[in-house]
Amino acid sequence: MQKSNRQRFREAMAYARRVLSNPEMRAYYARKKRKMQTTWNVAVADYLLNPSIDLIDIREYNGKPGEQIYITTHDKYRVESVVVSILDSQGIEIESGPAVRDFGFNFTYTTFALNPCLKGCKVVVTAFDVPGNEVSDFTMIEQV
């Protein structure tokens, strides 16, 4: 465990070096820092903290194209992107694609494929933050 933590911290330090050598990324993290923080510290902290998925709202999803799935995420700084995949009861992908940011940490995915058999399907959501950390969560569809 301690060995993997040290490795992750080394990776965070390498990420911070890349940030400081990239003017756009350096400016991004400089805007995020607070009093007594350095751009370096903010970049390291962002690398070490994973995003989270707080809500996968499938109430409006009935298996038809054009329906909405709502996702609420969280990260200390920014969730860069969210990808949604819908799998059938056998784990075969029905559709997958990026969700669109509504505002802040809220995203909406609009379905495009017909899914005639909802029961047992899984909606998998993966969120990515600026350093590329990712987290996945899912919800099962129990309705018939």
Q: Domain-by-domain residue ranges, the chain?
A: 2-48, 52-140
- The two beta strands, 100-103 and 106-110, are antiparallel
pTM value? 0.91
Strand partners, 108: 70, 100
Element (H, E) at 5: helix 2-21
CA–CA dist 123, 125 (Å, integer)? 7
Express each pLDDT in 101-140 by its tens digit.
Answer: 999 899 999 999 999 888 999 999 999 999 999 999 999 9
CA–CA dist 29, 7 (Å, integer)? 23
pLDDT value for 27: 96
For domain 52-140, give the CATH number. Answer: 2.60.40.10
CA–CA dist 63, 46 (Å, integer)? 37
Residue pLDDT tens, the chain, 144 long: 677 889 999 999 999 999 999 999 999 999 999 989 999 999 999 999 999 999 999 999 999 999 999 999 999 999 999 999 999 999 999 999 999 999 989 999 999 999 988 899 999 999 999 999 999 999 999 865
CA–CA dist 24, 16 (Å, integer)? 13
Q: How far is CA 10 from the centre of its chain?
A: 23
